[in-house]
Chains A and B, each alone.
Chain A
């Protein structure tokens, strides 16, 4: 196919967020030990329960093995060659944005996330995390009027220790897996959201993660709790500069939904993916899990994964409460030498629980894109229902698309249905669009975004356009 090359070229475009902010950073020495864990905790002035939590996790981590079942290919990570804490100097307390280093504000401006009062997004509250620390959170006061807590997790540890103690590590226990244990030991910052009973969060909440340092790992921790009848929509975005070394990102996200609560969690992940030969890029090992504890609660994950050299990520739902609902909508685009192993786990525990999985994988270049998912129907989940759909689009004949859907059912009064298909952009489809005056690039981009439409439709309106743009960006380039 003469156009295959052209389509391949299209998905290779320069990374736009690869710049480095020149800012003085306070870093601790490389390496991980019990002392480092204590040092991080003391830098953050943490209560003892949290230090204990970290130390316990660290000791568990020492006993654990790095998982290899996803068969991802990457050189052994040297955990002693990573800096576990880095923060821009002069950060201290940021009572107002005026005290934030202008260089940082400028950085977020450049990333399209203006924080200053004049320019900030009108209906989205943003928590901006730079390397290991949160540097600013917008609209805090307005949210507080509704009883909504939205702040960095470090701040929450100080201001709301009882909530942190009650919920932290209850959805993803520190020993859940190798990377969650590591994160639990050394997590630096992240966001905390608490929506009290009956409150519908008045605006979109968003955290923007920026890795700036070249030798620092990022270990953020996010915790979202929606009490009875509460609802919230939350979005995270991520970028990093281009380095020819790999940075480790091992995050943990925990969501708790009580009776009738609903949490919508969207991710647009655009970490640096490495160059066309696979040099550099982020190793993205993330544990995300939501627990529908309450009856009729709902947790919905939407992710658009376009970056990272390696993605290992399975945002999951534990559907405990009767009639609770879990959703997973995913677009994963891999190109060059990127490897993505992503999917979800839907664990049906309670009766009449329902889940929907829609996964769209696009593989180009020499990349490998795997969907790995588990749908488990427990013995008590009578009346449970799952529907899964996993589609792959292949661009070029060197990219891999794999599908590994695990299904386990122990409940006859439940129905599980899984469908998967593959497709490509056919020459005839391209010609058809072209013969109506639509340019090659736009034709490809229309078809790719058409392929992803079911997922994009799930994104909050403010971000749907952004995701479409991001994909279009990834598809931008000269026609071959």
Chain B
């Protein structure tokens, strides 16, 4: 839902970043307002996953230039946990398994960290159980998953549902979903997409990072951005995604080449 007067949640300006010695982001610009759903599309290696990692504060990525502001605050100054607590959420493409750490306890500690930041009271074990059981419905997850270790032995679909469950509990204002559709069968994709749609409000925003149109059939974006070589090459409405689907990514190369020509 596009409202030009809605408050800006995330403002990315000329963002450059590298991992080890390789520059991957080469000047990304993006503004996200409350109520909007954005989709960033692009080929492998275009830098879209890097963008999500940089926004969440992964220590392997170094920002070399530009800025990111979240509700006016410099996001890049903050530790990853602080970003999460103030409402920036990253749904991982490959959620990691953490043997031994119970999923329920993990969810409770995370939820309470967010609540404390918001000035709410921490939930005790019982109150949290009630909350989590209610939120499980968003992703149609079996409560048995709560008793297992974080993501350990979960199937691909279960891991992604667990991600959306965390999103439902943490209630972020900006949710970045990195390739949430990868490795999902049709049913799981439908459940995950329904969850994301259900959680979208006029106050928050969603940034979908994806390869394929099929996720966008289920979650309609307001804006589609095409990313290549570390930059956003073109921005349009949802029809841009359909165009990509039809024409493939080859034209992106041509456009890149043209761009290189201009620069030269």
Chain A residues engaging chain B, CB cutoff 8 angstroms: 2-3, 423, 426-429, 431-440, 442-443, 446-447, 449-453
With both chains docked as a complex, state the minimum distance between the C-beta of B149 and any C-beta of chain A, in angstroms.
Answer: 7
**Complex A-B: 6 CB contacts under 8 Å:** A427-B60, A428-B96, A438-B81, A443-B81, A451-B100, A452-B100
When the two chains form their complex, are residues A432 and B98 in contact, meaning their CB atoms are under 8 A apart?
yes
When the two chains form their complex, are residues B96 and A429 in contact, meaning their CB atoms are under 8 A apart?
yes
Provide the residues of chain B in CB contact with A431, threshold 8 Å: 56, 58-59, 80
A432, A443, A449: most-surrounded residue (chain B CB, <10 A): A432
- Known contacts A435-B81, A436-B106, A439-B113: does B57 contact A450 (CB below 8 Å)? no
Provide the residues of chain A in CB contact with B57, threshold 8 Å: 434-435
- State which residues 90-124 of B face A: CB under 8 Å: 90, 92, 95-96, 98-102, 105-106, 109-110, 113-114, 117
When the two chains form their complex, are residues A447 and B100 in contact, meaning their CB atoms are under 8 A apart?
yes
When the two chains form their complex, are residues B80 and A447 in contact, meaning their CB atoms are under 8 A apart?
no
- Complex Cα distance, B81 from A440, in Å, reads 8
With both chains docked as a complex, state the minimum distance between the C-beta of A5 and any C-beta of chain B, in angstroms.
Answer: 12
Q: How many A-B pairs with Cβ below 8 Å?
A: 81
With both chains docked as a complex, state the minimum distance between the C-beta of A434 and any C-beta of chain B, in angstroms.
Answer: 4
Asked whether any CB of chain A lies closer than 8 Å to the CB of B161, the reply is no
When the two chains form their complex, are residues A437 and B81 in contact, meaning their CB atoms are under 8 A apart?
yes
Provide the residues of chain B in CB contact with A453, threshold 8 Å: 100
Cβ contact of A437, chosen from B60, B84, B100, B102, cutoff 8 A: B84
When the two chains form their complex, are residues A3 and B98 in contact, meaning their CB atoms are under 8 A apart?
no
- Complex Cα distance, B102 from A452, in Å, reads 12
When the two chains form their complex, are residues A437 and B59 in contact, meaning their CB atoms are under 8 A apart?
no
When the two chains form their complex, are residues A432 and B81 in contact, meaning their CB atoms are under 8 A apart?
no
- Known contacts A3-B59, A427-B60, A431-B58: does B98 contact A436 (CB below 8 Å)? no
Cβ contact of A435, chosen from B80, B105, B117, B150, cutoff 8 A: B80
Provide the residues of chain A in CB contact with B160, threshold 8 Å: none
Nearest A residue to B58 by beta-carbon distance? A431
Nearest A residue to B95 by beta-carbon distance? A432
Asked whether any CB of chain A lies closer than 8 Å to the CB of B239, the reply is no
Contact mask for chain B residues 49-75; partner A; CB cutoff 8 A; 1 contact, 0 none: 000000011111000000000000000
Nearest B residue to A2 by beta-carbon distance? B59
Provide the residues of chain B in CB contact with A442, threshold 8 Å: 109
Asked whether any CB of chain A lies closer than 8 Å to the CB of B215, the reply is no
When the two chains form their complex, are residues B149 and A437 in contact, meaning their CB atoms are under 8 A apart?
no
When the two chains form their complex, are residues A438 and B98 in contact, meaning their CB atoms are under 8 A apart?
no
- Complex Cα distance, B19 from A427, in Å, reads 15
Asked whether any CB of chain A lies closer than 8 Å to the CB of B85, the reply is yes
Provide the residues of chain B in CB contact with A2, threshold 8 Å: 59
- Complex Cα distance, B60 from A427, in Å, reads 9
With both chains docked as a complex, state the minimum distance between the C-beta of B100 and any C-beta of chain A, in angstroms.
Answer: 3
When the two chains form their complex, are residues A437 and B101 in contact, meaning their CB atoms are under 8 A apart?
no
- Complex Cα distance, B143 from A160, in Å, reads 55
- Complex Cα distance, B99 from A449, in Å, reads 11
- Known contacts A431-B80, A434-B84, A439-B81: does B58 contact A447 (CB below 8 Å)? no
With both chains docked as a complex, state the minimum distance between the C-beta of B96 and any C-beta of chain A, in angstroms.
Answer: 5
Nearest A residue to B105 by beta-carbon distance? A446
- Known contacts A432-B92, A447-B100: does B105 contact A437 (CB below 8 Å)? no
Asked whether any CB of chain A lies closer than 8 Å to the CB of B206, the reply is no
When the two chains form their complex, are residues A429 and B80 in contact, meaning their CB atoms are under 8 A apart?
no
Nearest B residue to A431 by beta-carbon distance? B58
With both chains docked as a complex, state the minimum distance between the C-beta of A296 and any C-beta of chain B, in angstroms.
Answer: 31
- Complex Cα distance, B136 from A10, in Å, reads 35
- Known contacts A438-B109, A438-B113, A446-B105: does B98 contact A433 (CB below 8 Å)? yes
Provide the residues of chain B in CB contact with A447, threshold 8 Å: 98, 100-101
Taking A435-B92, A436-B81, A447-B98 as known contacts, 13 extra A-B pairs with beta carbons closer than 8 A to each other, sorted by chain A number, are A2-B59, A429-B98, A431-B56, A433-B98, A433-B101, A434-B79, A435-B83, A436-B110, A437-B84, A437-B117, A438-B109, A438-B113, A439-B81
When the two chains form their complex, are residues B106 and A446 in contact, meaning their CB atoms are under 8 A apart?
yes
- Known contacts A437-B117, A439-B81, A440-B81: does B96 contact A432 (CB below 8 Å)? yes
With both chains docked as a complex, state the minimum distance between the C-beta of A389 and any C-beta of chain B, in angstroms.
Answer: 13
- Complex Cα distance, B152 from A450, in Å, reads 12
Asked whether any CB of chain A lies closer than 8 Å to the CB of B166, the reply is yes
When the two chains form their complex, are residues A435 and B84 in contact, meaning their CB atoms are under 8 A apart?
yes
With both chains docked as a complex, state the minimum distance between the C-beta of B91 and any C-beta of chain A, in angstroms.
Answer: 10
- Complex Cα distance, B71 from A166, in Å, reads 77
When the two chains form their complex, are residues B109 and A446 in contact, meaning their CB atoms are under 8 A apart?
yes
With both chains docked as a complex, state the minimum distance between the C-beta of B199 and any C-beta of chain A, in angstroms.
Answer: 16
Asked whether any CB of chain A lies closer than 8 Å to the CB of B228, the reply is no
With both chains docked as a complex, state the minimum distance between the C-beta of A360 and any C-beta of chain B, in angstroms.
Answer: 9
B56, B96, B98, B150: most-surrounded residue (chain A CB, <10 A): B98
With both chains docked as a complex, state the minimum distance between the C-beta of B21 and any C-beta of chain A, in angstroms.
Answer: 15
- Complex Cα distance, B169 from A277, in Å, reads 46
Cβ contact of B101, chosen from A435, A439, A450, cutoff 8 A: A450
Nearest A residue to B116 by beta-carbon distance? A437
Provide the residues of chain B in CB contact with A427, threshold 8 Å: 59-60
Nearest A residue to B90 by beta-carbon distance? A435
With both chains docked as a complex, state the minimum distance between the C-beta of A467 and any C-beta of chain B, in angstroms.
Answer: 15
Provide the residues of chain B in CB contact with A443, threshold 8 Å: 81
Cβ contact of A433, chosen from B89, B106, B117, cutoff 8 A: B106
Provide the residues of chain A in CB contact with B149, threshold 8 Å: 450
- Complex Cα distance, B89 from A453, in Å, reads 29
Nearest A residue to B60 by beta-carbon distance? A427
Contact mask for chain B residues 139-183; partner A; CB cutoff 8 A; 1 contact, 0 none: 000000000011000000000000000100010000000000000
Nearest B residue to A446 by beta-carbon distance? B101
